Amino acid sequence: MSAQFPVARPRRLRRTPALRRLVAETRLSPADLILPMFVKEGITEPQPVPSMPGVFQHTRDSLRKAAHEAAEAGVGGVILFGVPAAKDGTGSAADDPDGIVQLALRDLNADLGDATVIMTDLCLDEYTDHGHCGVLTASGEIDNDATLERYASIAVAQAEAGAAVVGPSGMMDGQVAAIREALDGAGHPDVAIMAYSAKYASAYYGPFRDAAECAPQFGDRSTHQQDPANADEALREVFLDLDEGADMVMVKPAGAYLDVVRRVRDAVEVPVLAYQVSGEYAMIEAAAEKGWIDRDRTIMESLLSIRRAGADIALTYWATEVARKLRTS
């Protein structure tokens, strides 16, 4: 820049709401948002998640209603997490054709068709009695390669029930390749893979484990999820997933890892997603309930920051609410 004050006055472009809107560098639209949803087997009424005000474990019927509302608001997609009535060591409900997620997929496809993108989380922690993301060895360690066989089977079950996109979130080595091979071999080459490529071993997931009833019964997930200290490692994981056939890549959580979002965005030519996780949601809701922050402004600012850092798409529990506001603003 050559002009200096008093000729240069950047405040000129901030003077009115219309001017600020005109020159905004980052924008949100409903299509940029994905709504995570929980569907639980064996309940007759939606169950509130105490640590996530406004979020529910849905029945099949209440899920259909909430998904319809999201699609009507223009939300880009919904992603399903299942809570089965019975769990076991291998998570057998995860690939049961009559498992809760597969039933919900059929419901939503019948109701919504192509009105929104219907996606699934692909992991085992919601389905195992031990709460870990994979099959365990006799000594209690996760058996990476045996787990890949389970992920492959789950991917096919979800695709056959109507998932347009599957999202492997277990952070097992080789998971994307195993899933891509299984999908292609079962006649589902058009089902996309949204890889949870940089999923960190984060303290921000606490409320999610209430919603999905998947807290580990022992230990933690630090042997497979990424160390919060590492950013270069995230790029390695991203490139490995792309080499294995991922169509999209994700950073999770979003808010504390915006530097990683930016580095991934600068490095790849596929859609980049960021997951605004349960802890981020719960903290804003709790502070707003106390009157310490302006809830609506904080929600919008948090999502704009995710987009500004480079994410093309944000997964957020406020997706429907925000989409409605965007369409009326």
278 is in an annotated binding site: yes
Structural domain includes residue 51: yes
Structural domain includes residue 142: yes
pLDDT grade for 1, boundaries at 50, 70 and 90: low
CATH code for the domain in which residue 303 is found: 3.20.20.70
CB 237 within 8 A of CB 226: yes
Structural domain includes residue 4: no
- pLDDT digit string, tens, across residues 254-284: 999 999 999 999 999 999 999 999 999 999 9
Check whether 24 has a pLDDT greater than 80: yes
pTM for the structure as a whole: 0.95
60 is in an annotated binding site: no
State percent of the chain over pLDDT 70.
98
209 is in an annotated binding site: yes
Q: What is the mean pLDDT of the segment spanning 58-83?
A: 97
> How many separate domains does the chain show?
1
Range of the domain at 134: 27-328
Contacts (Cβ under 8 Å, ≥6 apart) of 134: 124, 142, 143, 144, 146, 147, 150, 170, 172, 224
Q: Please, what is the end-to-end C-alpha distance for the chain in angstroms?
A: 34
281 is in an annotated binding site: no
* Residue with the two structure tokens 């109701």: 111
Q: What is the mean pLDDT of the segment spanning 306-326?
A: 98
Largest CA distance in the chain: 74
- pLDDT digit string, tens, across residues 77-116: 999 999 999 888 889 999 999 999 999 999 999 999 999 9
pLDDT grade for 132, boundaries at 50, 70 and 90: confident
According to the model, what pLDDT value does residue 219 have?
63
- Residues recognised as catalytic: 199, 252
Q: What is the mean pLDDT of the segment spanning 20-40?
A: 96
Sequence-ordered strand ranges (E) for the chain: 33-40, 47-48, 56-58, 77-83, 117-122, 165-168, 192-199, 248-252, 272-275, 313-315
Structural domain includes residue 7: no
Structural domain includes residue 16: no
Give the angle 83-274-110 at the CA atoms, nearest 5°: 45
Nearest to 191 by CA among 217, 155, 223, 227: 155
According to the model, what pLDDT value does residue 143 have?
93
Mean pLDDT of the chain: 94
Positive or negative: CA dihedral 300, 306, 307, 311: negative
Structural domain includes residue 17: no
Check whether 119 has a pLDDT greater than 90: yes
For the residues of 83-111, what is the DSSP string, one character each?
E-S--BTT-GGGG-TTSHHHHHHHHHHHH
Q: State how far the Cα of 141 lies from the Cα of 219, in Å rounded to an integer.
A: 10
According to the model, what pLDDT value does residue 221 have?
74
- pLDDT digit string, tens, across residues 189-242: 999 999 999 999 999 998 887 887 677 776 677 788 899 999 999 999 999 999
According to the model, what pLDDT value does residue 10 have?
92
